Copies of this chain bind each other. A is one copy, B any other.
Amino acid sequence: MDYGKKVTASCPATVANLVCGFDILGMALNDPQDEIEMTLSDVPGIRISHTDGYALPSDPAQNVAGAALLDLMKEVQEPVGFDISITKHIKPGSGLGSSAASSAGAVVAANHLLGNRFSSKDLVRFAMAGEKVASGVKHADNITPCIMGGVTLIRSIFPLDIVQLSAPPLFVTVVHPQIEVRTSDARQILRKEVLLKDAIRQWGNIAGLVSGFLQKDYDLIGRSLEDVIIEPVRSMLIPGFDEVKSRSKEAGALGGGISGSGPSIFMLSRESETAIAIEVIMKEVFQSIGIDYKTYVTTLNTTGVKVKSEY
């Protein structure tokens, strides 16, 4: 055991669902990213401090990073402890995978300190315990791209079956309107049943989107970014959504929609100029509505959580 060893981890924001892939698809972004500093200790237990002002709980069992680490530690025989300092740049409740970044970052950093004994799939499994603390549900569609990078598919959650999908380079423009949409609320407004004909249209789009990524067919990606089931309901919680979406597509976006359960909206583009033009549109829309916002112009992250050793 390398007690005293310290690492820093950069933990990317993620976009879950990717419009038509509710609960199964996700992608990682290069901006924003959280930072986690973690030191391996011979004092058992988890000690969490935050350098930001979000007042997140520091009790490990109540903290998403802590809960994930507790799950990981069940499978470590030796006595170990972790001292963690978290600096969040991904705002909680943004729909950009803030909790996933903390839980995924924590388990990747811990795994590094423990000599990389666990597989990516193990790490996803541990980090899901963090997501359960955050939203009451063990979901993996943010955690998986956060850990693995790129675009990922959760074919099945029980048993866990993860597929990494290659994808062409993509620019991503994000706007985070500063309103609150709780994941649990966003889930509750969904109908428990859907029309079979809508489900068929949805799975056509999912199949098209997966093919578009793997075949690097930008037009097919664009045509497939359509959601007839979730977006019509959830977008009502996000003022300005329809205008951002229609104007972004007019400006050349491949398409886009709600990031995770919102309120952030993301748009994919093939060219950086388009991604920048879309940021201007997003700013105009939320300025005119009078809602504070934050925007990002970034790219698809292909590495996932990055760990650096610091002695």
Chain A contact residues, CB within 8 Å of chain B = 20-25, 153-156, 161, 163, 165, 190-197, 199-208, 210-211, 214-215, 220, 223-224, 229
Contacts and interface: CB of A to CB of B under 8 A. Distances in A.
Contacts of A23: 200, 204
Given A191-B196, A196-B193, A199-B194, A207 B156 contact: no
Contacts of A197: 192
11 contacts: A22-B203, A23-B204, A153-B211, A156-B205, A191-B196, A193-B194, A193-B196, A202-B203, A211-B214, A214-B214, A214-B215
Nearest to A214: B214
B220 A163 contact: yes
A201 to B, nearest CB: 7
Given A155-B220, A192-B197, A199-B229, 11 more contacts: A21-B203, A22-B203, A153-B208, A163-B211, A163-B220, A193-B193, A194-B195, A196-B229, A203-B203, A206-B206, A210-B214
Contact of A208 (B163, B215, B224): B163
A153 B192 contact: no
Contacts of A191: 196
B155 A205 contact: yes
Nearest to A195: B193
Q: In the complex this chain forms, how many copies of it are found?
A: 2
Contacts of A214: 210-211, 214-215
A165 B210 CA distance: 11
A207 B153 contact: yes
B24 A200 contact: yes
Contact of A223 (B161, B194, B201): B161
A193 to B, nearest CB: 4
B208 A211 contact: no
A38 to B, nearest CB: 33
Contacts of A25: 207
Contacts of A154: 204
For A23, A203, A224, which residue has the most chain B Cβ atoms within 10 angstroms? A203
Contacts of A155: 204-205, 207-208, 220, 223-224
A233 B215 CA distance: 34
